Amino acid sequence: MLKLLFVADPSSPSGAHQHRYLELLARAGIQIHLLERGPLLHKLDLPISTHLQWPRSERRVISKILGPSIGTRLAHWAVHRQLKFAWRQSRAEVCHVIWIDERAWHCEMAGLHPLVLTCLGSDLNSTKLQDHDPQLLQQKAEAIARCDLFIADSTDMIALASNIAGRELKSLLLPIGIDTQMFHPGYEAQASEWRSLLGIEESATVILSARIVRHNYRHDTIMKAFCKAVQEDGLNAYIIFRTYYSEKADIDRILAIASAQGMLKRVRMIDEVPYERMPILYSMADFAVNFPAMDAFPVTFLECCACELPVLSNRLPAYASNGITKYLTFVNEDNECALSRRLVSMSNDGVDLSLMREARAHVARHFDESAFIAALVSAYGHLVEQRATR
């Protein structure tokens, strides 16, 4: 049984993908030693061998006594010492860090190899922003450059990581797998019941804003385009936003736009949806809309395609990966007017059923969770073998 030191935050509000990784690793029979930033407020309902909190550095206290320069060095030494202890105690064969920040750098500096890093998108896309911390950027660059395997869900993320690191990386293109036995078309009765509970008549078009409400995903632009489509083109439609783990200011911004346009009655806000009910949500919608400013490759695309739900989106570099492009409908221009026109045409034109069946077959063949598990376990095994022969 392979032993893994898994550095992630699956319990955090934004840790859904990290929790999903953890579930699939546990299913693969890997012995997992979880190192979480914490605090560890609750026990994860998963077979974790040890659940540890990320080392405390006490940098602020030390720096007050000895000054920032010495304080920082000693704090780093303290973290690296604790990481080495956790590595030895767990007898881990691979260290895997998900979400690339200073923790990836600390693990590399502590000598935890083979070191696998998984990028989730914003952790590297944020390096393009002017206000990104230059010290953190340097730490990310060093960790990526020295890792044994870099995993991302799109080829442009791999290219960005190589550019940050200053060298070509040993990489694996691997989106998080989905349960294609659960994500499938249908669920008509449950979807109709849910639609009724939301007060949406059967004759109306239901548009799902597929991503949770965050500023980067430009839900305000989607809301403006929706209002324009209803007011100017007479579209009989409702739009659903997913609000869990969202900032109140972002939600308020959407509602303020809808209120100003007299569209509140056509907006539905839903809170957290259990994973097993997500296919019902997709079944309730006529199509999904996605319009971020920047992005990695969304697992939402895989879920939608597996449920044969059309997706309307802007074009971003990450979306050219994984053979999904032909199954998406794109907005030709990146603005609310063009998006509004596409919302109307998507509502009026209906669905190409044969294309969506092909989309489902593609996802089931290449991105089922079983394929993800097999690829990841194989990658771990290869790294362990390489390490043993050195």
Spatial CA neighbour of 153 closest among 123, 182, 109, 113:
123
Contact 160, 4 (CB under 8 A): no
Angle between helices 68-90 and 102-109 (to 10 degrees): 70
What are the boundaries of each domain within the chain?
3-177+369-388, 188-366
End-to-end CA gap in the chain: 21
**pTM, whole model, 2 decimals?**
0.92
pLDDT for res 94: 98
Residue 52 makes CB contacts below 8 A (sequence gap 6+) with: 33, 34, 35, 36, 86
Q: What is the mean pLDDT of each run of 10 residues along the chain (390 residues)?
A: 94 85 94 86 76 79 61 84 95 97 97 97 91 94 98 96 97 96 95 96 95 91 97 94 86 95 96 91 97 95 97 96 96 95 93 94 97 97 89
Q: What pLDDT, on the 0 to 100 scale, is given for residue 388? A: 82
| Nearest to 298, CA basis, from 277, 319, 314, 326 | 319
CATH class as words, domain 188-366: alpha beta
Q: How much is the pLDDT for 301?
A: 97
Evaluate whether 86 touches 5 at the Cβ level (below 8 Å).
yes
Do 3-177+369-388 and 188-366 fold alike per CATH? yes
C-alpha dist (Å) from residue 5 to 26, 36, 82, 177, 269? 13, 10, 13, 21, 38
Residue with tokens 């998963």: 46
The secondary element (H helix, E strand) that includes residue 232 is: helix 219-233
Rounded Cα–Cα distance for residues 148 and 27 (Å): 24
Write phi, then psi, for 2 (nearest 5 degrees).
Answer: -70, 135
Hey, CA dihedral for 362, 363, 367, 369, is it positive or negative?
A: negative
What would be the CATH architecture of the domain defined by 3-177+369-388? 3-Layer(aba) Sandwich (3.40)
Q: Please report the pLDDT score of residue 39 as a whole number.
A: 66
Predicted pLDDT of residue 12: 82
Please give the pLDDT value at position 151.
Answer: 98
Range 276-307 burial, b when 16+ CB lie within 10 A, else e: eebbbbbbbbbbbbbbbeebbbbbbbbbbbbb
Q: In what order do the strands lie in the sheet with 237-242?
A: 267-270, 237-242, 205-212, 287-290, 311-313, 329-330
Structural contact between residues 306 and 365, judged by C-beta atoms closer than 8 angstroms: no
Q: Which of 290, 375, 277 is nearest to 324 (CA)?
A: 290
